[in-house]
Amino acid sequence: MKIEKVREIYNKPLLKLVYEAATVHRRFHDSGKIKISTLISVKTGECIEDCAYCAQSVHYDTGIKPQEILTVAEVVEKAIKAKESGATRVCLSTSWRNAEGDENIENIIEMAEGVRKLGMDVCCTLGMINKENVAKLLKAGITGYNHNLDTSRNFYPEIITTRTYDDRLETINNLIDAGMPYCSGGIIGMGESNEDRISLLHTVASQKKHPFNFPVNALVPVKGTPLENQPLVSVWEIVRIIAAARILMPETNISLAAGRINMTEEAQALCFLAGANSVFIGEKLLTTANTKIEDDVRLFEVLGLKDRA
Ligand code: SAM
Ligand code: DTB
Ligand code: SF4
């Protein structure tokens, strides 16, 4: 796909873009369904990477409490609570640079087994990973792996210096080659330009396989990080990237991931109209606050959105 094509879609008048995206959405998906997931931060903080947006990087003094890896029982307990709130999928997250070491992988597999017994899907996001370990996770019934490209190749070094864009792409390739459904998207509101967002969309949409999920995170500015003073990104920008992604990757699910807490319900509704069909529910995302569970339940009811189990 040519980048000009992505640019042309991205720059359409907003309502025209939303209408086209909504049309594509209805052709490929049941527009009354969303996937409701919960994040469990199974290992928090003291990450050696320097991602400028992240509360968990050891490079910034963000005041979060580091937490060594949770036990299987603790993870299952959190998953039970999430299920009671209406989540049907759990995403296990770790503040690891990469997923390696037999013990660590075994640990995650045991957690996943415990959660699967509750009848929930399990995804994970454990940093960079090789094909061999992906195969182990796949065999254990893990149904997805998140690894975000975050932004464009050009803007990436402004945000992360401890690993390269090609490192990120290599993990995505490992996931594709091992047959693991992968989830990869980005963050907007970090000071990137429209051209950076167009480039991110172009890169993801040009992979040999589209991700099963494209998360759109609106930066949640975290005190102590280099991006703490970034102004909140406008809702129109969030809607625009969702709509463009929906048109470019019609079969991919799109998550309205971080940042819902800073959006009105009407703004979220517009995102669902434009093709977003996945959200995280729960008191917290990983380290930052999320929308209230009861507000979400009510919003989904009002909008006529049911979980796509
Ligand atoms: N350590 C793993 C990794 O980086 O792949 C997994 C966890 S990491 C926190 C997952 C994703 O959360 C990041 O790729 C980023 O897109 C998103 N994220 C982290 N902090 C964020 C923030 N403050 N605002 C918005 N998105 C954020
Ligand atoms: C994704 O793209 N966003 C989620 C999930 N995948 C792992 C994480 C959002 C984290 C928001 C910041 C925090 O709570 O620390
Ligand atoms: Fe570490 Fe992931 Fe945060 Fe980057 S985004 S600092 S890799 S936990």
Tens of pLDDT, residues 223-259: 999 999 999 999 999 999 999 999 999 999 999 999 9
Question: In sequence order, what E strands does the chain have?
Answer: 33-43, 89-94, 121-125, 144-146, 182-183, 186-188, 213-218, 253-256, 278-280, 306-307
Task: Indicate the average pLDDT of the chain.
Answer: 97
Please state whether the predicted TM-score (pTM) of the whole model is above 0.85: yes
pLDDT band at 1 (very low <50, low <70, confident <90, very high): confident
pLDDT in tens, 65-81: 999 999 999 999 999 99
pLDDT beyond 90 at 101: no
pLDDT in tens, 181-197: 999 999 999 999 999 99
pLDDT band at 103 (very low <50, low <70, confident <90, very high): confident
Where in the chain are the domains? 3-304
Q: SS3 letters for 6-67?
A: HHHHHCCCHHHHHHHHHHHHHHHCCCCEEEEEEEEEEEECCECCCCCCCCCECCCCCCCCCE
3-state secondary structure of 139: helix
- The best mutation among 35, 217, 238 to test binding of ligand 2, ranked by most ligand atoms within 8 Å of the C-beta, falls on 217
Distance from Cα 257 to the centre of ligand 2, integer Å:
7
Nearest protein CA to atom 2 of ligand 1, as residue: 127
Distance from Cα 79 to the centre of ligand 1, integer Å:
20
d(CA 134, CA 288): 28
According to CATH, the topology of domain 3-304 is: TIM Barrel (3.20.20)
Atom index in ligand 2 nearest the CA of residue 56 equals: 15
Distance from Cα 81 to the centre of ligand 1, integer Å:
23
Atom index in ligand 1 nearest the CA of residue 54 equals: 20
Atom index in ligand 3 nearest the CA of residue 160 equals: 4
> Alpha carbon of 57 to those of 53, 150, 185, 245, 308: distances in Å?
9, 16, 20, 29, 34
d(CA 142, CA 123): 6
Atom index in ligand 3 nearest the CA of residue 55 equals: 3
pLDDT in tens, 107-135: 999 999 999 999 999 999 999 999 999 99
d(CA 65, CA 87): 26
pLDDT (average), residues 166-180: 97
pLDDT (average), residues 5-22: 98
pLDDT in tens, 250-298: 999 999 999 999 999 999 999 999 999 999 999 999 999 999 999 999 9
pLDDT beyond 90 at 217: yes
